[in-house]
Structure 1
Amino acid sequence: MLQQYKNILVPVDGSKEAELAFKKAVQVAKRNGPQTKLHLVHVVDTRAFQNISSFDTAMVEQITDTARKTIEGYVAEAKKAGLENTDYSIEYGAPKVIIAKEIPEEENTDLIMIGATGLNAVERLLIGSVTEYVTRTAACDVLVVRTDLENNPVLQKDKERKNK
């Protein structure tokens, strides 16, 4: 039996990995039919502002505006591809918990498509990877996108470019 996903969550943060996850999510949603909902989320990590002594709301507003412009572009692209049932939210807090638990519960998510982390081993050890946390704790299926639309490893392409 073929798995039919009805509610797909795609976290986007402006990274290349997140963009690949979005593009693949569009393809998966199209294959699953017009009833499939694609929900995009950007999480503003408010913990990053705890160490700033002069916390400025204008800074948060600027980050939110940038995120909104990016995510609205993704929504327009999804709708152009025929996915009318596409929406988004911008959340504030700890990305790991919001992506792995809160949004999936609110949206009745049955698949999270997330980009592979760009962190190296030391960074993952010190600050942890959102992707790693989501794959370990989410109650629904999680697909970690590591390849482009032709299924070529993205990290390998980047290494080859750097070596030229």
Structure 2
Amino acid sequence: MKVLLATDGSETALAATKTVEQLAEHNSIDVTVVTVSYDPQRYQFQPWVPEWTEQENARTAKILASAERTLDRTCQTVSIKQVSGAVVPAILDEAKKRKVDLIVMGAKGHSAIGRLLLGSVSDSVASNANCSVLVVRPSDTFDFDRIVVGYDKSVASREAVAELMQMKLDDETHLDVVSVAEQPYVYVGEGFAGPPITLGPEHIQPIEETGERMASQIAEHYHHTHSHTPVAAHVGEAIVRQAEATNASLILVGDTGHGMLGELFLGSTSKYVLRHAPCSVWISRHHTETTDGATTQDATTEVSDAVATN
């Protein structure tokens, strides 16, 4: 797996570095460590540019050297690079040029208003990357011992599971497959009215059976796998609630992508989870690697193959 680790030497970036180190314990990982500096060309007429450049090069060299020492023990290869420019475009451009499978970075955290109006670096990278993104929130442990998987039978969610199953995890890892029975509401005037129908067993059972089938496939390798079918008005909220209840260390969701209006006014499940999760979040875009003719059955086969080879 080709990984790009974005770091700025902060506490959250160190947690992301430790996570890559942990993943590389049992997986073959080639990692590129990238740190981004402001472009000094913006200030080319300022007299302090040479001094600032020297100090910035020394600072980033120290950060990169530290990350290289940490990762060299477990990763197959480690390369380091300092780039200049706007942080988000620089990270995305580097990931695209190197054709990485996964971007790993720390989550700084922002206020609700800050997230809504401005967005964090991790939020922007996760929203715009062409590959999967793992946003790490610091914790006492870097083991993914309890994972919540959002699953809705879509190609994106099936291949998210396939991507996870291609990784080697501890046999004792607990996985909770969450398939949400979404409660419909009616939009009236300036707000939402009550639900137009009450979900009964006939509505919930097909979703429950779908989740159980996926959980049974995963359980062939990870025996501590269970399915859950909560009824909720918001899919992302139900997934986050499950992670909180089980003290999960990671949430995995597949990103299907949305149009601009959908992102601005409704918010995708992956965006909601990223902004509200109490733990690290893996947003999988594994499905973007498939051909245009990919089907749900193709994804089912890929999950089965991944389980068989793990």
1:113 Cα shift? Answer: 0.9
Contact 2:13-2:105 within 8 A present in 1 as well: yes
- Count matched residues: 145
1:27 partner amino acid: Q
Contact 2:96-2:130 within 8 A present in 1 as well: no
Contact 1:14-1:70 within 8 A present in 2 as well: yes
Measured in 1, the distance between the counterparts of 2:51 and 2:84 equals 15
Residue 26 of structure 2 corresponds to 31
CA RMSD of aligned residues (A): 2.8
1:63 equivalent to 2:66? Answer: no
1:126 Cα shift? Answer: 6.0
Quickly say closer, same or farther: Cα 1:46–1:119, change in 2 above 3 A: farther
Per the normalisation by structure 1, the TM-score is: 0.76
More helix, by proportion: 1
1:59 Cα shift? Answer: 0.3
Residue 9 of structure 1 corresponds to 4
Contact 1:20-1:149 within 8 A present in 2 as well: no
1:16 Cα shift? Answer: 0.3
Pairing partner for 1:106 from 88, 97, 108: 97
Structure of larger gyration radius = 2
Measured in 2, the distance between the counterparts of 1:72 and 1:19 equals 13
Contact 1:8-1:29 within 8 A present in 2 as well: no
Quickly say closer, same or farther: Cα 1:142–1:108, change in 2 above 3 A: same
Residue 77 of structure 2 corresponds to 85
CA displacement, residues 28-68 of structure 1 (integer Å, 9 cap, x when unaligned): 123222xx201110000238x65x95442220221121111
Structure 1: which 5+ runs fail to align? 1-5, 157-164
Residue 3 of structure 1 corresponds to none
Runs of 4+ that moved beyond 6 A: none
2:70 partner amino acid: E
Q: Secondary structure in 2 aligned to 1:86?
A: strand
Residue 139 of structure 2 corresponds to 148
Measured in 2, the distance between the counterparts of 1:126 and 1:67 equals 29
Measured in 1, the distance between the counterparts of 2:35 and 2:46 equals 25
Quickly say closer, same or farther: Cα 1:14–1:7, change in 2 above 3 A: same
Structure 2: which 5+ runs fail to align? 143-246, 250-277, 279-310
1:119 partner amino acid: H
Contact 1:44-1:92 within 8 A present in 2 as well: yes
